Structure 1
Amino acid sequence: PAFPAASLGRGAPVPGRCAYFVERKKRFCKMIPAPGRRFCGEHGQQEEENDRKRIPCPLDPKHTVYEDQLQKHLQKCNSRAKPKPVYFVQDINAGLKDVAEIPEKEVPICSLSKEKLDNLIITLKKASTGLELHLKEQVLSHQALQEALNDPKNGESAFKHLKQQASILGNMEKLHLLGPGRCFVEFGAGRGKLSHWVDVALQNAENVQFLLVERATTRFKVDGKHKRRDSVFERLQVDIQHLCLNKVPILEKKKLPLVGIGKHLCGAATDLALRCLVESYTTCCDGESQEPAPKRSRTDKTEVASNNSADNESNKDDCKPVAGIVIALCCHHKCDWTHYVGREFFKSVGLGPVEFNYFQRMSSWATCGMRETTTKASTSDESEDQSNDMEEHEQTCSKTESGSDTLQGILTVEERKEIGHLCKLLIDHGRIEYLQQHGYKAALQYYTEPAVSLENVLLTAVPMEK
């Protein structure tokens, strides 16, 4: 209640502000009431002389509305359904819908018997036979970030983010992806920092376009500050699962080759982004609608060649292809079998959705083993970025396998860490094979040191040469 607030030692509200004490926040409401009122519209029901009834909004019960103004409110409520953008195509990148369902009652890994756990580990190691277990270290930098990297005002977290961004740009430059006449699509863009640095690196380049894909509204965006006439920043507020790049007006108009980028694109979002780039864009960019394109592709090429590089080359002739993909991977424990692009690879080594479900959760062990070194979260502005590495790792430890410590009698921390890395590698290799089957030369590499980020693997891909 608002009235006893002062008597309970809560002090007094700020003059000219609402007199309602918000128990959850332990302070008075900061909204400005109407002239002559003690309470704001949200807390007006607390005022004795106000006999109008407020009810929870049916669109979002977190806020209330006067009952006699409900219909008017529904027309302008921020929670109302908004019209879908032209590039929204329901589930276009979601993957197959007829896959086998994972059993609803999943047994927690910490509840597995030692025999069952041992069998899972044996299966994991067998499936990983022949894979490159030691990735190439390719920690690079770029001159566009040198001034920022040398800025003494940077805190530790900001410095780590800059080092990662510099290495991503360095890897892009090595693949000859930084150049004019390109459209850079940043998935999970958040504040847009990665696109910002790409733009700085291309300050003298002409005809550069940026599309920043983010499903949530974002604070502290940096893309709005760009004034250079030769580059255009556009935000696409849509889930990657429903994004058809072919229908984005600027791409329909300019037909620019794409470069897909992302810094710490969590779990399933990486698979959705790969499918968005490799399938829903390149297979339909020469057609009027979604359906005819695959048919046209099959008639142009034989059934045998439909999934190889020759088919990809035919698409190159029909439309501007994806020139490259550079994505810093993250949070494999958030992957999903339905969206996963490497299902065929898993099946080829005798694995299915059940094994994927276990390996996906066990992947969190790769970072949980170092939780003592990652307990300090960022306090700088970078904590508002699209990914806070430390927070992600803390979530991994606390949410995915909270009982993993009970495995200490079976597996040591180092053994869990090794198994976690193996799970990540297996999942990522499925992505590599998927890209290879679609005509791309794909690779995994360490792009930064573990001390900078525990999620330090970069996925890169460029079209195969003829």
Structure 2
Amino acid sequence: METRCKFWLPKKKRFCANVPLTPSPFCGNHTPRSDSQWIPCPIDPSHSVLEENLEGHLRRCPLLKQLESLTHQPFYQKGINAGTEEDPQELEVVTSETVEDSALAVDEPKSGELIYILSEMKRTVYGMSVPDFYRLVEKIECVHKSICKDIYESCKVPEACGMWVKREVDRTSCCLQKLPFQEKHVMQQVSILGNMEDFGLIKSFIAKERADCDDGIGYPVKDEFDYGNDVPAVVEFGAGRGYLTQMLADCYGIKRVFLVERKSYKLKADRSLRQKESLILQRLRIDIEDLNLNAVETLRGGPYVAIGKHLCGPATDLTLRCCLGEQSNQSNGQGSVNPNLRGLAIATCCHHLCQWKHYINKKYILDLGITKEEFHVIIWFTSWAVDADHGTDLPDVTDCRFHLESIEKKQCDGGDGVEGVVKNMKAVERSALGFMCKQIIDMGRLMWMKEHGLEAQFLKYVPSTISPENHLLIARSANVA
């Protein structure tokens, strides 16, 4: 016991078994830290290091080697899909209604500053007068009513995905990979693929019966994937563990797969995918912001479909710019479609993480009469979308008059300003307003895709009882039959 760390582990009901650091009674993991001595690693802020050891740590940080290798890749181009803080169309569009000293007017936050800016947004909203808050909500609801008309439900369960829906996936593969089978995730993936099939982006297996010409005996032949010689590759953005691609490969026979993800994950579907005959898999560990897709040698010149399930916040904008931005259209001119892009399907989420710099269609938002500062407030409002109980489906957010009547009543009753009004709003009211803001953001993305020559739709692909993040942007090139 004398040679063990003196830190008590309550769950294990014993002391730590590691050797203590002399002269401390604790091991390196449990030695009390002084806040003044530890600083975030400049290379990877997810861990910290003693300030006195910083110089030596920077030479051997685990992330350093990976970053050095990445910067030498031909497809790495720092900030190529990041967008700009101010677009050429964005002139002086600041209204007199903007709250003075608003923290929303600061420069675009970096990732580490996002939480601070969100807090400032909250304080700014609560600092507004009730009439100003009323007018802002009225503007949001009027804008939503005018532009969010083409959203419809399209919950698909294609026959091709029957093996996953009925839990008939390869058990050997599942045991090796410990693939998680959660029904809510499976139903989302199934509907995404079903809408892609319905939209013509992918084709299902076609079972054929052939007759023997000699003896006339018919026999079933193994399912064949009828794409001719023009089979598109699939690029999954924000792939995570890659289970959406796993289902796509299992059910639709895709043969070329590219997984784009900046983080490292355990229990990935990669091993199972690599066991499939003739399937080519390449994982690109890179931030979408820095990915020049045209420079990926193994993808260059071939048709592909882009997919993404729950691309958080600005990742959706980065993906659209990666597939359709100016760097993808250098040979075709501004506003044209990359000839290799067959289409895309992106399930959006986490709109409260969106940023003005990265947002893909600033001009559209400004043309709606929404200022940059109001856009930041809308981003904060989107976090209200999860306020309601999603055990039952939410009411139609297009029926919005109860918001205005509710707020107007609180205004007449006095109360504790905007903070009091917000606290007295029903959860379903806040949730509906949050969804309106989400849909306004996504409609701007939809319009941007249409401006770039894609046939695009915005739809609700699963009920909110399965997931409140249930909207899908789907598009195809005009030359896809």
Closer, same or farther in 2 for the Cα pair 1:200/1:247, shift >3 Å? Answer: same
Which residue number in structure 2 is paired with residue 172 of structure 1?
A: 196
Amino acid at match of 1:188: G
The equivalent residue for 2:466 is 452
Give the deviation of 1:130 after TM superposition.
Answer: 2.7
Q: Hey, what's the Cα distance between the residues in 2 that align with 1:268 and 1:58?
A: 25
Shift of 1:44: 5.9
- The 5 Å alignment of 1:209-228 reads 209-226=256-273, 227-228=275-276
Q: How does 1:247-396 map to 2 (within 5 A)?
A: 247-252=295-300, 255-279=301-325, 282-283=328-329, 293=330, 297-298=332-333, 306-307=334-335, 311-312=336-337, 316=339, 321-370=340-389
Report the TM-score, using the length of structure 1 for normalisation: 0.71
**Whole-Å Cα distance in 2 between the matches of residues 241 and 121 of structure 1?**
33
> In structure 2, what residue type is equivalent to 1:416?
R
Map 1:129-208 to 2 at 5 A: 129-133=145-149, 135-151=151-167, 158-179=182-203, 181-203=231-253, 208=255
The alpha-carbon deviation at position 337 of structure 1 amounts to 1.1
| Residues 87 and 246 in structure 1, CA contact (< 8 A), matched pair in contact too | yes
Call closer, same or farther: CA 1:89–1:146 in 2, change over 3 Å.
same
Note the residue ranges of structure 1 that are not aligned, 5 or more in a row: 4-12, 284-292, 299-305, 375-402
- Give SS of 1:346's match: helix
In the TM superposition, residue 409 of structure 1 has moved relative to its aligned partner by 5.7
Cα drift, residue 146 of structure 1: 2.3
Secondary structure of 1:363's counterpart equals helix
Q: Is the 8 A contact 1:88 1:242 kept in 2?
A: yes
Once residues 70 and 342 of structure 1 are traced to their aligned partners in structure 2, the CA distance between those partners, rounded to angstroms, is 43
Deviates more, 1:56-65 or 1:262-271: 56-65
Secondary structure, counterpart of 1:130 in structure 2? helix
Aligned residue for 2:453? 439
- Pairwise CA distance, 1:217: 0.9
CA distance in 2, matches of 1:211, 1:27: 46
Residue 77 (structure 1) aligned with residue 96 (structure 2): no
Name structure 2 gaps, 5 residues minimum.
Answer: 91-102, 107-119, 204-226, 394-416
Deviation, structure 1 residue 160: 0.8
Report the counterpart of residue 81 of structure 2 in structure 1: 93
Counterpart-to-counterpart distance in 2, 1:345 and 1:58: 39
Which digits, 9 at most, give the CA deviation of each residue in 1:315-337, with x for residues without a partner? Answer: 53xxxx21011011111111111
CA contact (8 A) 2:347 2:471 kept: yes
Does structure 2 retain, via aligned residues, the 8 Å contact 1:271–1:339? yes
Most deviating of 168-177 and 95-104? 95-104
* SS class of match (1:95): coil
Alpha-carbon separation, structure 1, partners of 2:54 and 2:343 = 53
Structure 1 pair 70–432 and aligned structure 2 pair: CA distance change class (3 A): closer
Q: Measure, in 2, the Cα distance between the counterparts of 1:64 and 1:346.
A: 43
AA at the equivalent of 1:175: F
Q: Which amino acid aligns with 1:140?
A: K
Which of 1, 4, 7 aligns to 1:21? It is 7
2:286 counterpart of 1:238: yes
**Cα shift at 1:23:** 7.1
Q: CA deviation at 1:364?
A: 2.0
- Provide, for residues 70-93 of structure 1, a one-character-per-residue CA deviation record: whole Å limited to 9, x for no partner: 85x654431436212331111111
Cα deviations across residues 285-321 of structure 1 (Å, max 9, x unaligned)? Answer: xxxxxxxx3xx545xxxxxxx43xxx43xx53xxxx2
* Structure 1 residues 127 and 352: alpha-carbon distance in aligned structure 2, compared to 1, 3 A threshold: same
**Alignment partners' CA distance in 1, 2:11 and 2:239:** 30
1:164 and 1:183, CA in 2 relative to 1: closer, same or farther beyond 3 A?
same
Q: Secondary structure at the match of 1:141?
A: coil
Establish whether residue 103 from structure 1 lines up as the match of residue 105 from structure 2: yes
Determine the C-alpha separation between the residues in 1 that align with 2:277 and 2:422. Answer: 58
Rounded Cα–Cα distance in structure 1 between residues aligned with 2:54 and 2:451: 58
SS at match of 2:157: coil
Using the TM superposition, give the Cα deviation of residue 175 of structure 1 relative to its aligned residue in structure 2, in angstroms.
Answer: 1.9
SS of 1:145's equivalent? Answer: helix
Distance 1:103 1:22, change over 3 A: farther
Q: Is the 8 A contact 1:212 1:235 kept in 2?
A: yes
Provide the secondary structure at the position in 1 that maps to 2:305: strand
Seq. identity, %: 29
Q: Equivalents in 2 of 1:138, 1:30: separation in Å? A: 54
Return the alpha-carbon distance in structure 2 between the equivalents of residues 21 and 359 of structure 1.
Answer: 47
What secondary structure is seen at the aligned counterpart in 1 of 2:308? strand
- Cα deviation digits, residues 361-400 of structure 1 (max 9, x gap): 11222221227879xxxxxxxxxxxxxxxxxxxxxxxxxx
**Residues 129, 418 of structure 2: 8 Å contact kept:** no
The SS at the match of 1:251 is coil
Indicate if the aligned counterparts of 1:87 and 1:243 stay in contact, CA closer than 8 A: yes
- The 3 A distance-change label for structure 1 pair 462 and 297 is closer
* Counterpart code for 1:266: C
Partners of 2:199 and 2:365 lie apart in 1 by 29
Superimposed CA distance per residue, residues 86-118 of structure 1 (whole angstroms, 9 cap, x where no aligned partner)? 311111111123357941454343443321211
Tell me: CA distance 1:150–1:28, structure 2 relative to 1, closer, same or farther (3 Å). same
Between 1:121-130 and 1:165-174, the stretch displaced more is 121-130
2:24 corresponds to which residue?
46
Change (3 A) 1:68 1:333: closer
Aligned pair in 2 of structure 1 residues 58, 413: CA closer, same or farther (>3 Å)?
closer
**C-alpha deviation, 1:45, in angstroms:** 5.8
Aligned length: 380
Match in the other structure for 1:125: 141
- Please report the RMSD computed on the Cα atoms of aligned residues, expressed in angstroms: 3.9
